[in-house]
């Protein structure tokens, strides 16, 4: 019977996915429960993980704006 280490060596993509999922889960839990909101300046900062959600939304919006600008300045080939 193969040991656990030998099985993990055979399936590296699965190990990487599980590790990434575990790290992501730890970060989400920490950002929701570990970051204090007692020094919040505005009401929105009291929402758990507000700045993470805000940053993600801003990145997604920037990507779509860049796609739209790219389509607008694209030149047709003759």
Distance CA 62, CA 32 (A): 25
Predicted TM-score (pTM) of the model is 0.53
Residues above pLDDT 70, as percent of the chain:
94
**Domain extent at residue 49:** 1-77
Q: How many domains, in total, are found in the chain?
A: 1
pLDDT digits (tens, 9 = 90+) for 29-41: 887 777 766 777 8
- pLDDT tens string, the chain, 78 residues long: the values are 678 777 777 777 888 888 999 998 998 888 777 776 677 788 887 777 788 889 999 999 999 999 999 999 987 776
Tell me if residue 39 falls in helix, strand or coil.
coil
């Amino acid at each position: 019977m193969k040991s656990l280490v030998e099985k993990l060596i055979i399936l590296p993509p699965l190990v990487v996915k599980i590790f990434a999922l575990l790290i992501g889960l730890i970060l989400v839990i920490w950002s929701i429960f570990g970051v204090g909101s007692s020094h919040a300046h505005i009401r929105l900062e009291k929402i758990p993980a507000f700045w993470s959600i805000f940053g993600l939304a801003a990145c997604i919006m920037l990507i779509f704006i860049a796609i739209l600008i790219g389509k607008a300045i694209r030149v047709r080939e003759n």
